[in-house]
Structure 1
């Protein structure tokens, strides 16, 4: 149901269901940012400087995604709820587990974005649907990159020299993948 009411001296033009889903999405993006920050910290502590830089960058990117959603909801007259976050996983058994977590996190975010889009269509909220298309494209790229990096780690296996080269080259691999 579309709401067109005056609340706190502003006109609210947002479906309450969609508003709640967007607030949920804000939390998912914030949670991913925090998780990637913890992953970067683990990688830094383990001596994987390239992997750490990659995850620091991923954390920043997720925060930008969150801020973009906050700004959009506010511009539409919605009520943004800044969420409490769960404590992220702080340690990993190795790079494979780290990148498996990265992939599953991205897949979860994609699933949630798809749910928002489904509800937008059900509620005929084409403005939010259009806005969310940027996130769909972004998630396709993020999942593909996560799969590529995990595939490379699976090829490397437990080879320490392979891990060294992966750590050295990860940002080049990620940049090349984004330019495809």
Structure 2
């Protein structure tokens, strides 16, 4: 008996997301090693943790495909992009990567809606929220770097920023959680 509850199109787009999440883990890992070699231990710490988080996302998608009777596929990964020139470029590249991943998640949610695959649509909502957090987190990093002086930040500012980034939580404050008593 065939127990697969996923269409071929849904299976294909989810398997593509498996690859995207694995590549995201590699990108974060690559940038973490770059940051560490540049002396940004705090930034490296954050990026190493995010590499693991992206692998967790990959596992969620693999598990979902398998749980719904489909067959997850593990494929070859693209090489991570070249090292950034500075912290500004690092954060900008990470932000662009997260925006691209958000668009891929939207494609999954859109296709599942079109196919009336409500289980996959519901599964995708967790990733929609996660991408809001991911983009917000990187925008906050970019804002902090801008306040520190951006690409022209002094060594002292970068040292302070790096220490603060290393101590910050991995989750960003979201508008959906704000209230009058706790706006951020």
TM-score (normalizing by structure 1): 0.90
2:62 pairs with 1:82 = no
1:169 aligns with: 164
- Supply the distance in 1 between the matched residues of 2:171 and 2:85 (Cα, whole angstroms): 27
**The one of 100, 110, 119 aligned to 2:102:** 110
- Supply the distance in 1 between the matched residues of 2:165 and 2:85 (Cα, whole angstroms): 19
TM-score (normalizing by structure 2): 0.88
The CA deviation at 1:160 is 1.5
RMSD after superposition: 1.5
1:72 aligns with: 64
CA contact (8 A) 2:133 2:171 kept: no
The structure whose residues are more often strand, as a share, is: 1
Kindly tell me the number of residue pairs found equivalent between the two proteins: 172
Consecutive unaligned residues of structure 1, counting only runs of 5 or more, are: none
CA contact (8 A) 1:96 1:153 kept: yes
- CA deviation map 1:60-99 (0-9, x unaligned): 0000000010011001111111021111124211100000
1:45 aligns with: 37
The CA deviation at 1:173 is 3.9
